[in-house]
Amino acid sequence: MCSATIAPVVIEGRWKYVPRLCEPAILLDPKADISIPLVKDRHEDLKQMLDSNKDGLKLEAMKRIIGMVAKGRDASELFPAVVKNVVSANLEVKKLVYVYLVRYAEEQQDLALLSISTFQRALKDPNQLIRACALRVLSSIRVPVIVPIMMLAIKDAMTDMSPYVRKTAAHAIPKLYNLDPEQKEELIQVIEKLLSDKTTLVVGSAVMAFEEVCPERIDLIHKNYRKLCNLLVDVEEWGQVIIINMLTRYARTQFVDPNAGSEDDDRERPFYEDDEEIEDDETLAKRPKPMDPDHRLLLRNAKPLLQSRNAAVVLGVAQLYQHIAPRTEVSLVARALVRLLRSHREIQAVVLTNIASMSTRRKASGCKGEKDMFEPYLKSFFVRSSDPTHIKALKLEVLTNLATDTNISVILREFQTYIGSSDKEFVAATIQAIGRCASNIREVTDTCLSGLVSLLSNRDESVVGESVVVIRKLLQSETVGHKDIISHMARLMDNIKIPMARASILWLLGEYCDKVPKIAPDVLRKMAKTFISEDDIVKLQILTLATKLYLTNPKQTRLLCQYVYNLAKYDTNYDIRDRARLTRALVFPSQGHEDNKLAKHAKKIFLATKPPPVQQSSFKDRDQFQLSTLSHLINARATGYQDLPPFPEEAPDPTVRYVELPASFTPENHHKPSHPKKSKPQKMKSFYSDESSPEDESEDDASDSSSDSDSDSDSSDSDSSESSSDEDNESDSEEEEEEEPRFKRKVSGGSSKKRPEKHGVSQSSGSEDTDSSSSSSSSGSESSSDEEAENSEDSDEDVKKKKKSDREQRNSVPQGRGNRSNLDLLLDLDDTPPAMDTPLLTPSLGGLLTPSPSSQPSQPLPPGASIQPASAKFVPTVTQELLNRISGGGLAVACRFTRSPHLYSPRMTSVELSFTNNGSEEIRDISVGSKKLAPGMALHEFAGIAVLSPDTTLNGTIGVDFNDTTQPAMFDLVVGGRTFSINITAPIGELLMPLAMNEGDFNLNQIKLRGMNEQCGVVSLSSGNKDIKSLVNRVYETANLLQVQCSSNDIVKFGGQTASGKALVLVSLSLPQDEQESTISVNCEKMVISSMLLKEIKSALKRD
């Protein structure tokens, strides 16, 4: 049978390839009416797949099209075929169609407008992803005709139940504003509504829309300021950067400068207070004012973000502290910035630019203690051989700024090693850095000068030339001239070819010609011979040298000077000719102008004392730009850059940030006390209990009684919360995020002075808000008690009735600010130490003092307190073969997941490797070679095996951080000089760690992970998986989770978290009574993990 071939045929003036069978050639007549099969369109197969009736073909076609778009290929020709499938019933196809339309809707506006009715119908789709995609496509059609439709769609999406849709609406606002700026007033109303949203998914996008549309409307931020600060930790990384930049500008306009008057505060004060002079009003006015509580709230809530994995977030917090924090607190960001130096070189360049600018600014300020910010991390800025040139230059800049009297010896020793580098540009920058250190630190000037002189004998011409330039600057700043150095440099004129170095030597000879009267004329004689071939900068210095020598030694250099002037008179450069005419008129005045005043003072003009050059950092002029901005990085004003506003002299009214909470709504299934009580502001209590007055005791008794009643109400609230519906739980969590304490907390100190109450309760609420802002989710007892205190209107009769019993309880129960987690205590390091209920280690008693059970009543745990790591309930014994004995030359390698955290890092999964020698000879030196890991993954090696005897099996454990992905961990196994490639792929269930929790915490977190973070499915159970025990065991075999004790027998719940990212994973299975199908739901913020885990559990439950 003859096979088909491809032959070129001329069709319509072009060469095309058509299929042809192996037949005898036939001569075609051009005039004959013969149809030749034309080549199909290159996307014809995709169009046919999109027009088919099978969803599988459509899905495959869309995947290929999206792949083309991802690779940068043009797929706009397929727009008509793709847009027809926007009405597809298949959800996966519809999602991919919307992804394609977002990309090409702006280019194919006419065709997109034909389907606008379909997009409008999709805005009402039950699926939140479809609604969001439809709005995104609608906002991508940049046609003024659809502006009213876009506005209506945004307003509808603004009130959508899904946070993802509201987030998409916020992203569509800037697009609509750019299309029609006249819609600004209506868009501001939408932005105001979105800014009041309590969902962390929406807040960042709302602030982005605010910055794009109306950044001048600062009044929209006032009432949302505290909420933004409290939610800052929980917002996604992109939103954190946007919010931090906005709050930085807000703080610069609403708070006074915390560093104002700090310079006067650094002066030395007398030891005894009696020796202090009476300060007048002006001195008191210059004193630094106390920081606003809202100012402190922002700084405290931004501090935990220094541990973020995102470099942009860390840089945002660093610029926040740099621009609005007290100078004594800016040093907190140093450790985080140094940590970023281990990232990619692009990130290193940006971070080092900011560090260099910060160190230059703090060094120029000259305040006490400010030079030590990066000094403890001095070795982190040492140059590595693998660093690119621009990174080396930035590190040199930082090292030069950090040079002090104590560490200059270490820095100069490091610079000495850099001079031997092969990078000429880096060597030149190092010599300049040595010169800056010598000019800034006078104690090492002579040492640096002698070292630079020794470099003049270097074989490298560029090193010698740069050394000459730096020596010239140092000699100019020295009061005593160095005759020997100048003479030595004059002898190098014949060898140095770099124009700048030759010009520097000539300038030194002219400036100090009186110290070398015999050498300077001879150098001028040599330079006059080569004047024509010299560079322009050298010619100008030759003119200057000739003029100075004539003024100091006219007898010996008169003719030589005139000869140089004549040469310069006919030079091709205008500057040299003009310089020669000017200096000749001053030195050799024409006849009749001998009495010229300028000619008489020529010696004073040319030989005047010059001020020493000031060697400044190149980063000094970057202070005008805000840190971590593009303008700061390129040292030029970029398009759209706005200057950072200055601090106001007087702080604006802080009451604009105080928001009154609405009256609380109590659902019917919530049981709360029928007599809410008023709680009075607590007075400042004395340090010693004997000094308290009877009035104070009565006030304390009243407050204790109210706190006890509040705790009772809290316990009732927590008891009823478990029986409430999901909507009630969600509303309670939102109320807890919005509530703000109203009263001052007690402060135990050495004095009982009261603070001036300028704003009354409002001021106290601000200070209380700062104390509770380290986490957005505070304890439920505090929020519910404060809410009842605000809404209470009854009398205090019940308080008086319980005064006696409360006084007895007050003596036995220690007072505190409520139950706080360890994370809250770690984040509030700067606060007054609270009275904790945790055991305290007291040195005086020599042990742990734990409250007795009888002295302290049991209280319900706050939300999330029951979630603790646990051990695995099932350890798999099945091994996975990694290397068979035939490929390994007798060595067989298998792996097994032990489901235990690795000792090296809790983020790593432990994998046990078993090495079996099936051969007859010993196998030596088994170890891990090179690693081929995906970005974000890490691998900790096992201890090498020296000898593996025949018929012997040894085990080794490695730790793998899979970064919450199913990508394989690839590495080379080195066995006695041979290398084998090993791939370890972890099932999705092995990437989890079990967590123990109660049902209340499970339900609370499951509500937070609804929507697109939830994957549901239905599975038909096999005959052996219909009872609870078998179901639980099958889930244990599939995933490393832990069962949650439930109050219902119809559902089984499991809890866990991802090993690397610590993201919660919640699994719930419904137990059918009569039916054969079970409903499974998996909740996780990482949708890939939840979908894959759902598939594995479904397949496991189907097996017998």
- Mean pLDDT value of segment 691-717: 41
CB-CB neighbours of 256 under 10 Å:
18
Q: Residue 563: is its pLDDT beyond 80?
A: yes
pLDDT at 462: 80
pLDDT class for 87, splitting at 50, 70, 90?
Answer: confident
CB-CB neighbours of 411 under 10 Å:
23
CB-CB neighbours of 677 under 10 Å:
23
Q: Residue 75: is its pLDDT beyond 60?
A: yes
Tens digit of each residue's pLDDT (9 = 90 or more) over 641-653: 888 999 998 889 9
Could you tell me which residues come within 8 angstroms of residue 821 by beta carbon, excluding any fewer than 6 positions away? 775, 862, 864, 865
pLDDT class for 592, splitting at 50, 70, 90?
Answer: low
Residue pair 1087/1015 in contact (Cβ under 8 Å)? The answer is: yes
- Mean pLDDT value of segment 11-39: 44
Cross-strand pairs, 893? 883, 915
**C-alpha–C-alpha distance, residues 446 and 440, integer Å:** 12
Of 857, 969, 855, 841, the residue nearest 902 (C-alpha): 969
Amino acid letter, residue 543: L
Residue pair 174/213 in contact (Cβ under 8 Å)? The answer is: yes
Question: What tokens does 1098 get?
Answer: 């479904």
Quote the percentage of the chain above a pLDDT of 90: 32
Question: What tokens does 379 get?
Answer: 């070795």
Tens digit of each residue's pLDDT (9 = 90 or more) over 812-849: 444 444 444 444 443 444 443 343 333 333 333 333 33
pLDDT class for 753, splitting at 50, 70, 90?
Answer: very low
Q: Residue 715: is its pLDDT beyond 50?
A: no
pLDDT at 1075: 63
pLDDT at 422: 87
pLDDT class for 287, splitting at 50, 70, 90?
Answer: low
Between 597 and 429, the higher pLDDT residue: 429
3-state secondary structure of 494: helix
pLDDT class for 741, splitting at 50, 70, 90?
Answer: very low
Question: What tokens does 481 get?
Answer: 């001239």
Of 735, 847, 827, 828, the residue nearest 782 (C-alpha): 735
Q: Please state which of the ranges 362-371, 378-387, 1065-1074 shows the lowest mean pLDDT.
A: 362-371
Q: What is the mean pLDDT of the chain?
A: 77
Q: Residue 621: is its pLDDT beyond 90?
A: no
pLDDT at 936: 86
pLDDT at 354: 94
Amino acid letter, residue 18: V
Give, in degrees to the nearest 5, the angle at Cα 541 between 538 and 542: 85
Cross-strand pairs, 892? 916
Could you tell me which residues come within 8 angstroms of residue 243 by beta carbon, excluding any fewer than 6 positions away? 203, 204, 207, 228, 232, 235
- Mean pLDDT value of segment 1001-1018: 86
- Mean pLDDT value of segment 144-165: 92
Q: Residue 504: is its pLDDT beyond 80?
A: yes
Residue pair 587/561 in contact (Cβ under 8 Å)? The answer is: yes
Q: Residue 411: is its pLDDT beyond 50?
A: yes
pLDDT at 594: 64
- Mean pLDDT value of segment 271-299: 66
pLDDT at 690: 42
- Mean pLDDT value of segment 485-493: 83
Tens digit of each residue's pLDDT (9 = 90 or more) over 1047-1096: 887 889 999 999 998 899 999 988 766 667 788 999 998 888 888 999 89
Choose from 72-81, 340-349, 366-375, 499-508 the range with maximum mean pLDDT: 340-349
Tens digit of each residue's pLDDT (9 = 90 or more) over 316-329: 999 999 999 998 89
Between 808 and 79, the higher pLDDT residue: 79
pLDDT at 282: 55
**C-alpha–C-alpha distance, residues 877 and 881, integer Å:** 13
Between 865 and 1036, the higher pLDDT residue: 1036
